[in-house]
Amino acid sequence: MARTLKTLLAAGAFTALALIGYHLTRPEPIDLFPIQTISESSSQPPESRRKHPTIRPIQTTPFREQEETKQPPREEDLPFTVEHYLTGKVTTSTGAGISNVSITPYRPYFFGGTRDGLEELINYTTDTAGAFTIPVPENTSYDLHATSGSRTTFFRNATPDTPAHIIFSNRPTVTATVLDAKGNPVTAADTTLTMAYPFPHSLTSTPSSTTQGTSTFTNVEEGVFTLITKTGTLTATQEISVFEEDINVTLTLPPGVSFDGNVFDADTKKGISSAVITLTPILEPLLSPFTIETNATGSFTCTLSQGDYTGDIRADGYVPLSFTRQIPTEDTAPFILAKPCALEGRILNSNQHPVGNANVFPVTMHGSLLTRFGVMHTTTNNGGIYTLPVSTANDRFGLIIVRTGLAPHFTFPATITDKKIEDLVLTKGYTVGGVVTTENGAALNNVPVTITPSPEWIPERSHARPLFTAWTKTNDTGAFTLTNIAPGPYILSARTANNSGSESLSIDTDNTNVTLALALGRDLYITIHRADGRTASSTNITLTPHIGKKYHGVTDETGQLILKGIPLGGYRIFAFDQNTRQQLTSAFQFLPEDPYLHVQFSAHHSTQIRVSDQDSGIPVPHITLSYYSQKDGRTKSIEQKFLSKNGYFDIFLDGEHITALSINAAGYSPTHLSLEHGVEEFYSVALKKR
């Protein structure tokens, strides 16, 4: 029976499980669960927050031949099977074709729904007419990077079905003049230009020339940028929208405000010398933190820009102290640092003998790794004794203990009495083994077999989870053996390219007679619907299993996609509608009796807003939209950036949940807009300059 999944955007910031993987003693650790996230902060796909990685290994010889002969690599030499072609043309703004432009397609990849990066494919160049044809491995959307000399431009969401038209427009110059609070040029200022949209933080430029406090940036891309200037601890920032015209900007550094303080020892009440104070501006995430040190009497002083800061004070032998301050401040109370307590415990084996060389990790109650005053973990001595620094004798945390040849141990909370923890016992653990076969009973060799804790026992986000996860491969007869398994509920699973299977086990004794039969992959029929019931064509689909490769595709004109040979089991589906810019994510079980999956987007509302200057009526080309969304009884603060030459912005919102917006633009006072859904589809907003 077909299932209909009405799915709302769900945030899932999964903790990286590999933080302590190097402490595992099992051979050949692998990434058993690729961690994936989805952001709910936007109805548009989030951008990569890191530089585009090259994932596929590319042989250098064909490329060297290509550079010498200007011939593209043969399709049979490509590191993938060619299924489709991207076509298009590169022109000037007047329509003239541009030859010899380097075109590189990037295939977006998603971690549980969030666009997390781009996979680089093969580079091609345009012909004499500016046209290009590029073979690609699958029918999905790609980002194209076009480069000619020192110039680069981007084209988003190119598909094999539609030719791409890439336009090289004029590249303007941005000139930034830096003045101090009295209006004098600042010659020693450090000024940079960082892209904020459409590829956040992907492009940071230094000036091509700097004279008399003026920095010049040439050949600037189209987009929204943040100008940042710094001199000492004084900073100034401004967002600018870059199109085809040159821009002149004046940045005025604020007057400095003195920030003084003292750092004292909690016991002696004396000043602590060489304590390091790190200050970070709260509302300026692009600005780097800066540090100062206390003098011999524990005092410090510095000059800052006005604003809110977070602070961190560290000194050898003391518990770190965090604080927030609004500068200027009238708070003159000294900062007090305390010395940590030493907490002792002992690890024994089942014979009550001390266990030496065991790694002990402090963790939260959910298994998240803690760092106690620079100590991420400690090791027992020959007497089984370990020591952990804690802030007080009442500091509460859990422990993970790992020792070669013994089963890992996870306990919470640690019972603390008189700065000591009760003795903890490590056992040898149990053995799990058996054979992996096909549905017909044929043995499967060289198949990875994984045993993982049940999520009800150890949550998926827990750092304890990988310590209780073990894997091996079947031998020539399909047999496998896993040793040192701690008692508890587990999921035993195995997967090949076309087969998969899993079984729940409760481990409280040795179990070496498990037969894990893997079912053959089936065809999965996916249909995507919009909120109004119409099918959603041109929707990007990413299917992610718990273990193994992802599956990609794009729905056809009927909103359908058939994925062939998909192993049975649990998956997370991510869908992005290229027409409405909506996205959703959902988990489901692919069962042999039900190969049909129907997914429906939640209701959304399309609103157009025109934003202009209140005095001149000139369009405001770049805005930041802030609003609160209420879903499932939760309220979330969401912020989106938009860029438009003519000041018209098409906004896709979950209309039934959002009733008010805040519109912000650089140099203007924020404006609030109330929405009346079903009454108006268009709003005109005039912003007043500050």
> Does residue 43 belong to any structural domain of this protein?
no
Nearest C-alpha neighbor of 221 from the set 281, 174, 153, 319: 153
> Does residue 263 belong to any structural domain of this protein?
yes
Same domain, 197 and 152: no
Residues 157 and 474: their CA atoms lie apart, in Å, by 42
Residue 567: asked if its preceding bond is cis (omega within 30°), the reply is no
Check residue 186 and report its DSSP letter: -
- Give the chain's end-to-end CA distance (angstroms, integer): 60
Looking at residue 439, its pLDDT comes to: 85
Residues 405 and 168: their CA atoms lie apart, in Å, by 63
Residues 48 and 110: their CA atoms lie apart, in Å, by 10
Same domain, 326 and 189: yes
Residues 6 or more apart whose CB falls under 8 angstroms from that of 157 comprise 141, 142, 143, 578
What is the Cα 645 distance to its own chain's centre? 30
pTM for the full model?
Answer: 0.45
Query: Final residue of a domain: which of 379, 408, 426?
Result: 426
Same domain, 331 and 349: no
Residues 564 and 524: their CA atoms lie apart, in Å, by 6
Looking at residue 21, its pLDDT comes to: 39
Same domain, 515 and 525: no
> Does residue 37 belong to any structural domain of this protein?
no
> Does residue 477 belong to any structural domain of this protein?
yes
Check residue 419 and report its DSSP letter: T
Residues 664 and 671: their CA atoms lie apart, in Å, by 7
Query: DSSP states of 280-339 as a string?
Result: EESS-TTSPPEEEE--TTSEEEEEE-SEEEEEEEE-TTS--EEEEEEES----PPEEE-P
Same domain, 283 and 205: yes
398 with 367: CB under 8 angstroms? yes
> Does residue 24 belong to any structural domain of this protein?
no
Identity at 469, one-letter amino acid code: T
Domain of residue 114, CATH code? 2.60.40.10
- Burial of 84-122, coded b for 16+ CB within 10 Å and e otherwise, reads eebebbbbeeeeeebeebbbbbbbbbbbbbbbbbbbbbb
Domain count, the chain: 6
Looking at residue 63, its pLDDT comes to: 31
Q: Which residues pair with 516 in a beta bridge?
A: 436
Looking at residue 10, its pLDDT comes to: 33
Residues 29 and 467: their CA atoms lie apart, in Å, by 11
Residues 610 and 646: their CA atoms lie apart, in Å, by 8
Same domain, 445 and 563: no
Residues 6 or more apart whose CB falls under 8 angstroms from that of 429 comprise 406, 407, 483, 484, 485, 486, 487
Torsion-angle region of residue 317: left (phi > 0), alpha (psi -120 to 50) or beta?
left
Residue 585 tokens read as 């994510």
Same domain, 617 and 638: yes
> Does residue 297 belong to any structural domain of this protein?
yes
Same domain, 330 and 247: yes
Nearest C-alpha neighbor of 477 from the set 525, 527, 442, 528: 442
Residues 686 and 690: their CA atoms lie apart, in Å, by 13
Same domain, 73 and 206: no
Same domain, 327 and 242: yes
Torsion-angle region of residue 391: left (phi > 0), alpha (psi -120 to 50) or beta?
alpha
Block mean pLDDT (10 aa), the chain, length 690: 36 32 36 30 34 33 36 67 85 85 78 52 87 86 80 76 82 88 85 74 65 82 82 83 83 88 92 93 73 94 86 88 85 86 82 90 63 66 85 64 84 59 81 92 92 81 77 94 91 83 88 89 90 87 78 90 86 84 81 88 72 80 73 61 70 59 81 66 80
Identity at 229, one-letter amino acid code: T
Same domain, 268 and 359: no
Same domain, 219 and 100: no
Strand order in 605-613's β-sheet?
A: 648-653, 605-613, 682-687
**Segment (H or E) for 624:** strand 622-631
289 with 276: CB under 8 angstroms? no
Query: Final residue of a domain: which of 520, 536, 568?
Result: 520
Give the structural domain span for 436. 430-520
Residues 272 and 265: their CA atoms lie apart, in Å, by 6
> Does residue 393 belong to any structural domain of this protein?
yes
- Burial of 177-203, coded b for 16+ CB within 10 Å and e otherwise, reads bbbbeeeeebeebbbbbbbbbbbbbbb
Query: Final residue of a domain: which of 127, 162, 197?
Result: 162
329 with 309: CB under 8 angstroms? no
Domain of residue 673, CATH code? 2.60.40.1120
Identity at 214, one-letter amino acid code: T
> Does residue 19 belong to any structural domain of this protein?
no
Looking at residue 171, its pLDDT comes to: 76
Query: DSSP states of 353-405 as a string?
Result: -B--S-EEEEE-TT--B--BTTBS-EE--TTSEEEEEESSTT---EEEEE-TT
Looking at residue 29, its pLDDT comes to: 35
| Other Cβ atoms closer than 10 A to 587 | 15
